[in-house]
Structures are given as C-alpha cells and as structure tokens.
Amino acid sequence: MTLLAGQILNGIATGMLYALMGLGLALIAGILNIPNFAHGALFAVGAYLTVSAINAVGNFWIALVVAPLGVAVLGLVIEYAGIRRLYAAGHDYQLLFTFGLSLILAETIILIWGPVGISQLPPPILRGGIDLGFTFYPKYRLFVMVAAGLLVTATWLFLEKTRYGAIMRAGIENKEMVSLLGIDIHRMFTVAFALGAWLAGIAGALTAPIRGLSPGMGVDMLGIAFVVVALGGMGNVLGAIAAGLLIGVAQAVVAAYWTEASVAVIYLVMAAVLVVRPQGLFGIR
C-alpha cells in the first residue's frame, strides 16, 4: 500500500512535468501551426544547461532561472532564423526542419557534454525526505510537484486573464482574423515559440535531479509530449494537466509491478483512450 501511494505521488510529480512539456508544445503547435520535433531536444538542452550553470555558479536556484532563459533565447533564434521562413511551406518541410534541428542539438549535446549520462543532486535544502504519515517521500519530488503546478497555473493565468494571453488564444482559433485586427502576428509567433521553449527548458531543469541526464532524454520526452497534446488538445491547459497526470500516474503504477513495460504503457494508455475517444480527452477538433 505504501509502495503504491509512493508511486502515485511519483506519477503526479512526473505527470506535472509532462503537462509542462505538453503545454509548451501545444502552444507552439496551436499558434504557429507547426509540428515542433525539436521540443524534446530543447528539454534536453534545458537540463544540460542547468547542470553547467550549477557547476559554474554553484547555486541551483540561479541555474533554475538562467538555464530555461537560455533555452528561451535559443527558441527565439530558431524561430527568427529558421521557422519564420517556413510558415508558407507545408508541414512536411516544417517537420524535416525541426527534426534536423533535434538531430543537431542532440549531437551537439554529445559533443559538449559527452555520450555518458550525468547525475545531478538536488540542492542541499531539498535533499532527503519527509514523513507524510502514510509514506516517506523525497523532498525534491514534492518541490517539483509544487513548482510545476505553479508554472502550469501561471501559464493558465497568462492565457486566460491577460490581454496578450487572450490575443494568443484568439490566434489559435483564427490567425487571419487576429492579423486583420492589426495585431503583429509574427511577433506573437516569436513570443509563442520562445514561451514554449522556455517551458521545455524549465521541465528539463526540474527533471535533471530526478532522472539524471543522458543524450537520449530529449527523444523520450518528445514522444511523451506528443501524447499529452494528442490527448489534451491544443491551447487547453486543463487538458494538458489531465493528460499529463493520466500517463504519469499510469507509468508510475505500472513501473512498481512491471518495470519493463513502464514506458510502453504511456503509449498504450494513449492508444486505449483514442480507441474510445478518437478526439482526445476533451474532444477538441
């Protein structure tokens, strides 16, 4: 029972990270209308930058702020120098471009940080665990749960309660109309891509002390982010949270009894949901 409770908590923590990834990807897919195959690579870059920043300044909290900002800047450059030229091209070329980028980023990670995995400790204050009454639980994972929850909430508030967020949601619905109203749609595209990249970078930074780092971490996360968007829909914060938690908890519970199947189960859950609900959890488009 304790094992199961612990695993469910683990599932909630990773599920919130999945939700962050899916949210960023959904923003990019919804607003720019491109399939961003580099999203996983941005996640990995976020994790590696965090480790380098911790080694450079010796402070986790500064790294947690700086590294995702670095990823956001990278996203800014990618959108400005490459993706901007591909809006008129089809999905096939957009896919090939972002896929090429993900190969470049993944290989660059190997060139800079080496092919072997790296482990990263949580900051001293978050090491060790807390007795929750029914189970003893690592502090860092509780922190991740809260931090990811706050970030998702902040993104939701931004999209729902601010003027620019409302414009962005309108952009998902109808780009032409937004453009006709005199809003600089290209700047909105750049902002959306940078914001999505920033969310991926934060997810990477938060993941580093949980799972460690390896060059393949980006691709694994990419598939999961796709699942979150396929199930939760685009521009739907609630959908991303529900989908993230669903697959996160399913994965953690299965891992307790049948470790080998713990990754495949993410995709099996998605397939099962799609058999029953082809349009995803909340039936958008």
Among candidate residues 65, 8, 46, 32, the one with its CA nearest the CA of residue 234: 32
Confirm or reject binding of residue 219 to another protein (CB under 8 A): yes
In this chain, which stretch among 67-75, 88-96, 119-127, 137-145 interacts with another protein, using CB under 8 A? 88-96
Q: Closest distance between another protein and the C-beta of residue 245, in Å?
A: 18
Burial (CB < 10 A; 0-12, 13-18, 19+), residue 5, is: middle
CA separation for the pair 89, 10 (Å, rounded): 42
Q: Closest distance between another protein and the C-beta of residue 258, in Å?
A: 10
Q: Which of 145, 151, 227, 243 binds another protein (CB under 8 A)?
A: 227
Q: Closest distance between another protein and the C-beta of residue 43, in Å?
A: 15
Which residues, numbered 234-273, are part of the site for another protein (CB under 8 A)?
Answer: 234, 260-261, 263-264, 267-268, 270-271
Q: Closest distance between another protein and the C-beta of residue 134, in Å?
A: 31
In this chain, which stretch among 97-105, 123-131, 148-156, 190-198 interacts with another protein, using CB under 8 A? 97-105
CA separation for the pair 62, 52 (Å, rounded): 12
Which residues, numbered 19-48, are part of the site for another protein (CB under 8 A)?
Answer: 29, 33-35, 37
Confirm or reject binding of residue 89 to another protein (CB under 8 A): yes
Residues that bind another protein (CB under 8 A): 29, 33-35, 37, 82, 85-86, 89-93, 95-97, 99-104, 106-108, 110-111, 219, 222-223, 226-227, 229-230, 234, 260-261, 263-264, 267-268, 270-271, 274-275, 278-279, 285
